[in-house]
Amino acid sequence: MDRTRAFFDRLVAWSPVLLLGALAALTYWLDAQVQPPPARRDGSSRHDPDLFLQDFKAITFDARGLPRESLSAVRADHFPDDDSAELAEPKLSLTEPGHPTMTISADRGTIAGDRDRGDFAGHVRVERAAETQPAKPGETPTGPVTLTTDLLHVFTKEQRAQTDQPVTIEETRGIIRGRGLEFDNKAKRVRIKSHVSGTLQPQHEPR
């Protein structure tokens, strides 16, 4: 029971962060370095799961009692050899006061043991809700943004995300397609590496 609870707590604390545009990120990670245990002959060194959770959903609340993070999956398997976890159909929603909600979903996901890295694979979909108010006075609030790809690597400690797969970004102004993407939240930069195509309509400023 204690091991299951510890595994559940780790899943709640791990928050891979991806942002499109100017959304501020919310990241959580563990800084402690865990030394690998000495080799044992009880099978613990093999990459076999030691416990799992089925159809779980975890919600983290802020100081005001409002939902801040929601993580769910059809199944989560923990592997003791490297402390990693594999998720089936994960869905992560991040809500930051003053910013649109961000939701990441995929067919499967993997969380590294240090909680600094995670991979989403298979029908990866990142959705940012529309802004309820503009980021700066006088600007027009941005509409919803959706990014789709087949593989996304997330580095929470560095607040970066990247892929070498085809990507599609859809928003109210139009659609952009390309191959490969690099996102750096600290530098607030999004770069599509190659084969960029699409159409965007100019956004009219409010009068």
Q: Are 56 and 161 in contact (CB under 8 A)?
A: no
CA triple 182-19-130, angle to 5 deg: 135
Residue 32 lies in a domain: no
Residue 85 lies in a domain: yes
pLDDT recorded at residue 86? 92
pLDDT recorded at residue 193? 92
How many domains in the chain? 1
Q: Are 168 and 149 in contact (CB under 8 A)?
A: yes
Residue 117 lies in a domain: yes
pLDDT recorded at residue 66? 82
pLDDT recorded at residue 25? 32
What distance, in Å, lies between the first and last C-alpha atoms of the chain? 61
pLDDT recorded at residue 30? 28
CA triple 64-69-75, angle to 5 deg: 145
Amino acid at 181: L
Mention every residue, 6+ apart, whose C-beta is less than 8 A from residue 42.
Answer: none
Q: Are 146 and 118 in contact (CB under 8 A)?
A: no
pLDDT recorded at residue 181? 92
pLDDT recorded at residue 94? 79
Tokens at residue 34, please?
Answer: 């865990």
pLDDT recorded at residue 158? 77
Residue 42 lies in a domain: no
pLDDT in tens, the chain (207 residues): 666 666 656 655 554 443 333 333 333 322 333 344 455 555 556 778 888 889 988 888 888 888 887 888 999 998 988 888 899 999 988 787 777 888 889 999 998 877 778 899 999 998 888 877 665 666 666 778 899 999 999 887 777 889 999 999 998 889 999 999 998 766 777 889 999 998 877 765 555
Q: Is 79 left (phi over 0), alpha (psi -120 to 50) or beta?
A: beta
pTM higher than the cut 0.95? no
Mention every residue, 6+ apart, whose C-beta is less than 8 A from residue 66.
Answer: 95
Q: Are 206 and 138 in contact (CB under 8 A)?
A: yes
- CA 55 from centre of chain: 19
CATH of the domain at 68: 2.60.450.10
pLDDT recorded at residue 103? 87
Tokens 């865990």 locate to 34
Structural domain span for residue 118: 2-27+49-200
Residue 38 lies in a domain: no
Phi, psi of 92 (to 5 degrees): -120, 125
Residue 147 lies in a domain: yes
Residue 71 lies in a domain: yes
Residue 39 lies in a domain: no
The total of other beta-carbon atoms located within 10 Å of residue 10's CB is 17
